[in-house]
Amino acid sequence: MKHSRATSTCGTLPQNGFSCHFPGRGGQRAPVGEWQRKLRFSRVCASRVAASGPPARRRRRSCTRSSIAEVPERSRRNDVTVPLASPSAATGNSANFRLSKVGGAGVVAPPPRRAYLRLTPSFPSLRSDAAAAADREELFVQKLRQCCVLFDFACDPLSDLKFKEVKRAGLREMLDYIAHNTDALTEAIYPEAVGMFSVNLFRTLPPSSNPAGAEFDPEEDEPTLEAAWPHLQLVYEFFLRFLESPDFQANVAKKYMDQNFVLSLLELLDSEDPRERDFLKTILHRIYGKFLGLRAYVRRQINNVFYRFIYETERHNGIAELLEILGSIINGFALPLKEEHKMFLIRVLLPLHKVKSLSVYHPQLAYCVVRFLEKDGSLTEPVIAGLLKLWPKTHSPKEVMFLNELEEILDVMEPAQFVKVHRPLFRQLAKCVSSAHFQVAERALYYWNNDYIMSLISDNAASILPIMFPALYKNSNSHWNKTIHGLIYNALKLFMEMNQKLFDDCTQQYKSDKHKEKHKMKEREQMWSKLEELARRNPRVGLAPRRLAEERASGTSLPPPTFQKSALSAMEPKVTRRKSDLPQDVYTIKALEAHKRAERFLTANQEALSL
């Protein structure tokens, strides 16, 4: 039977929100409100995909030639045509909609360019007088369903410009409507709003643009932006306004915003677009504050993200945003802290310091650690011990970050807790002052400009000054950077003003230790001289050069290999070839004289071979 060729037109159905023209028998229209409601979530979509089967191929032939030609071959292979039940099915009309396998189940994929589905711009405005108060709820639902249509911004950004603008205008109108109307959120709106949000946002993120390269630097590198952001931004703004509305009822919304919904939001935090991560951070914080039953689940899933980041992948784009959420959560912890929260500090926050991309999220991490110590001062000792254990050895920029965090911790540390940790703490600071990297030494010496830290040092100067004095005194003249000299003089002056007698005692002790060290060096040289003298008296033992012996005694590097080999060979006794002392035996002498060597036979064979 020959079907009539029909073009795609749009009209307004009072009960469905928008209408679609599906090429079929007689070119009639098929309403889509019923199936749009049924295809919202993943299980329903998957069941319809499984229920479709061979008849889908036969129904595809009813499309016009232009519609089939515009669908790429790959799309026809990877997409599944789902038959949609509608009231017009009894009359013989059929409607096909495409559901993409790529991107996760439950996401309704956009139709191909100029394909079946089209938006209608003929809806009245929500704020116009034509829309009565009783009809605004139904009109709002229709507009929410209309915004569930997705468009392609990445592969073909110039396609369907008219309908993209229709969707953008609809999102903007709904955003203004819920912002200026107190009775806009009725119970029928909640499933439609959550469904629209899920269809537009929940998707499989593209692979990382730099999965195994250098860490992302916000000041140097350009982030990868989302192509569909003109629509995504309005969807995020609408949903955030939806959550912050005075009419929002958590008891009604919890039926639709469950644990799977929260988990999908957390997965989106790995997006490379910083604008999307910022919206997700705010939305997750609002959900945590309004849904008490989801709080423990949110914390547990955030912990799982951190564990995977620390011990498996070491790559995630949303660690800084997650730490910002946790910073506000930690501020709301009740006292005394639960054991669960203490374990989170020890097992999650402290190990986050060892990841190589620490610079991306360190300010947020330091904020969380400091908030914990403000809540419970008894956690100071394990936190300081953990930081000293993870202290970087060769990464100077990371060492500067540790010094910044340590100063913030000292600012909130109680004097009683400082007494417990000051000895290992200032041993590490002494090493930092002696660092050849001037930024590390400079950052450590800035501690002496902090009034509260100086008050803590003054109360414990008897044990701190003996630890710090050798490093300060030695580097006051030997450090290569002149700025460090000035900072060291300032620190020594402050120590002198604290306790003059203790400062003099430390000076004398330092000089005494230096004198003992010189005495030990002299004794070591004398011992080597005695060994050399003993070696000279032994005729079978050669002497190494003086320089080699001194370097071995002082522990410095050995000379180049050629020199080292010649020096060692000089120490070995020379091997001299001596004749064997045979006994003066008559029979032996006769046997040696009668012995015939084989050289003449060997030369004969060589001559024969040459011929």
The CA distance from 383 to 408, in Å, is 13
Mean pLDDT to the nearest integer, 564-574:
53
pLDDT in tens, 157-211: 677 788 888 888 888 888 888 888 878 888 889 999 999 999 999 998 888 776 6
Mean pLDDT, to the nearest integer, of 87-97?
34
At 32-56, the pLDDT tens digits run 444 444 444 444 444 444 444 444 4
Which of 143-152, 269-278, 584-593 has the weakest average pLDDT? 584-593
Q: How far is CA 303 from CA 299, 316, 361, 482, 499, in A?
A: 6, 13, 16, 46, 48
> pLDDT at residue 430 above 50?
yes
pLDDT at 559: 52
**pLDDT value at position 529?**
92
Is residue 49 within a helix (H) or strand (E), and if so which, with residue range?
A: helix 42-51
pLDDT of residue 42: 43
pLDDT-derived band at 501, boundaries 50, 70, 90 = very high
Q: CA-to-CA distance for 301 and 320, rounded, in angstroms?
A: 16
The fraction of the chain above a pLDDT of 90, given in percent, is 46
**Phi and psi of 24, rounded to 5°?**
-155, -150
Longest CA–CA span in the chain (Å) reads: 144
pLDDT category at 71 given cuts 50, 70, 90 is: very low
More confident residue, 497 or 563: 497
Strand, coil or helix: what is 28?
coil
Mean pLDDT computed over 146-167: 80
Structure tokens, 545: 């050069």
Exposed / middle / buried, residue 380 (Cβ in 10 Å: 0-12, 13-18, 19+): buried
More confident site: 214 or 539: 539
Residue 301 has pLDDT above 60, yes or no: yes
Whether pLDDT at 111 is above 90:
no
Cis geometry, peptide bond prior to residue 336 (ω within 30 degrees of 0): yes
Mean pLDDT, rounded, of the chain: 76
Does the CA dihedral 365-367-372-376 come out positive or negative? positive
Residue among 590, 580, 526 nearest 553 (CA): 526
Residue pair 429/491 in contact by the 8 Å Cβ criterion: no
Q: How far apart are CA 490 and CA 557, in angstroms?
A: 36
With b for 16 or more beta-carbon neighbours within 10 A and e for fewer, the 499-527 pattern comes to eeebbeebeeebeeeeeeeeeeeeeeeee
Predicted confidence band of residue 109 (pLDDT cuts 50, 70, 90): very low
Q: What is the pTM of this model?
A: 0.68
Percent of the chain with pLDDT over 70: 66
Tokens 């040289």: give the residue: 525
The answer on pLDDT for 600 being more than 70 is no
Under the banding of pLDDT at 50, 70 and 90, the label for residue 9 is very low
More reliable by pLDDT, 305 or 140: 305
What is the pLDDT averaged over residues 265-281? 93
What is the mean pLDDT of the segment spanning 269-297? 93
Across residues 395-400, what is the average pLDDT? 94
